[in-house]
Structure formats: C-alpha cells, structure tokens
Amino acid sequence: MKTSMLRSVSLLALACAALSASAQNLVVNGDFSTGSFAPDWSVSGSNVSLENNGVGFTTPYARFGAIGSTGTLSQTIATSTGSSYTFEFDLINSGGTPNSFVASFGGSTVLSLLDSPSFGVTHFSYSVLATSGSTTISFTGRQDPSFYRLDNVSVTPLSTAAVPGPLAALPFALMALKRRKRA
C-alpha cells in the first residue's frame, strides 16, 4: 500500500513539474505557420511579407526588406499589469547596409540594430515587465540590399515564487504520507 501511494505521489510530482515547465506562449501564430499574418498580426509600412524559401528557418517566417523606409509587424497580447515575461524571437540579417531593426515590448525598445553586419540565425531573449493588461509587441525593420528574417516569436510568463504553482501541493502530500506511516 505504501509503495503504491509513494509511486502515485511521485507520478503526480513529475506531471506537475512537466506542466510548470511548459509555459504557454501568449503570441498567436508566432512561428507564422498559418501562412498568413491576418488576423493575428498587424502590418504597416512597406515590404513586410511572409516567405518560406528555407533560408535559415524551416517554417514560414516574416521578411523585412523595405528599401528607403521601414515596415512594422505588431501584435497586441493579453498580459497582467506588473507581471514579468520572457520575450523571445529568432532573427537573421542576410545583407549589408543600410539596415535597421527594432524590437519592442509595450513601447519599450529591447533590441535596436543599426547598420548591423549580416548574421545567421540568432536567438534573442529578454525579461520584460508588463505595465498594463494588454501589451503590444512590435518589430520594425529596413534592409535595403537584402532582408531581415524573423521567426519563433514568443512571450511566456516568468514563474515567480510569490505565486504557488502545481508543485506547491507536493510537501503537503508528502506530510500526509508520513502521518499515514505513523498511524
């Protein structure tokens, strides 16, 4: 009886840990796999498009290549005021200068590149704080001789010690087992 109870508690702990580890991405269609920006993403400016030619990414990706002006891709997501999040994305710069790329979270710039040299797939990750119940993430780019390529955009909540997760119940389950053993 004790062995089966301990095994059940162990399986519950593993299941809870797996659930805690996989935070939900708040960005809809962050990998652009639907093959369309609409209805989740807003596009403004010139020359922001979807592309799938296998240059560094295996799924469709957003391509910025505006000549002489910038193009912007943005999405507004539900957030909690005062909560921390991880804002991540993958980026490629395929060309020379002039170029610029800016990523922002809630109007605050997290990445600003100006006349950056070309680079392959680079993963960017930032800890950010939401200042309202909805937050706009945006990417603005210009790449005159070639393209910036964007993929795998995500915003996930950071876990905090103040908010008990599923594993918080584990010590109580173990204490209950101990009490049963004594009785």
| Tens of pLDDT, residues 54-90 | 677 877 999 998 788 899 999 999 999 999 999 999 9
In a domain, 59, yes or no: yes
Distance between CA atoms of residues 10 and 8, nearest Å: 5
In a domain, 170, yes or no: yes
In a domain, 13, yes or no: no
In a domain, 6, yes or no: no
Higher-scoring residue by pLDDT: 170, 39? 39
Q: Which two tokens stand for residue 89?
A: 């994305």
pLDDT of residue 125: 98
pLDDT higher than threshold 60 for residue 175: no
Domain extent, residue 150, equals 23-178
Burial classification of residue 166, based on how many CB atoms lie within 10 Å of its CB (0-12 exposed, 13-18 middle, 19 or more buried): middle
In a domain, 35, yes or no: yes
Beta bridge partners of 112: 102
Mean pLDDT of 4-23: 47
In a domain, 106, yes or no: yes
Is the torsion defined by CA of 113, 117, 121, 124 positive or negative?
Answer: negative
pLDDT higher than threshold 70 for residue 168: no
Mean pLDDT of 151-164: 78
In a domain, 110, yes or no: yes
Give how many domains the chain has, as a whole number. 1
Distance between CA atoms of residues 65 and 56, nearest Å: 16
- The whole model's pTM is what? 0.75
Q: What is the DSSP letter of 106?
A: T
Angle at which helix 2-21 crosses helix 170-182, to 10 degrees, equals: 170
pLDDT higher than threshold 80 for residue 115: yes
- CATH assignment at residue 149: 2.60.120.260
In a domain, 124, yes or no: yes
pLDDT higher than threshold 90 for residue 30: yes
Band (pLDDT 50/70/90 cuts) for residue 8 is very low
- Ramachandran quadrant class, 28 (left: phi over 0; alpha: psi -120 to 50; beta: rest): beta
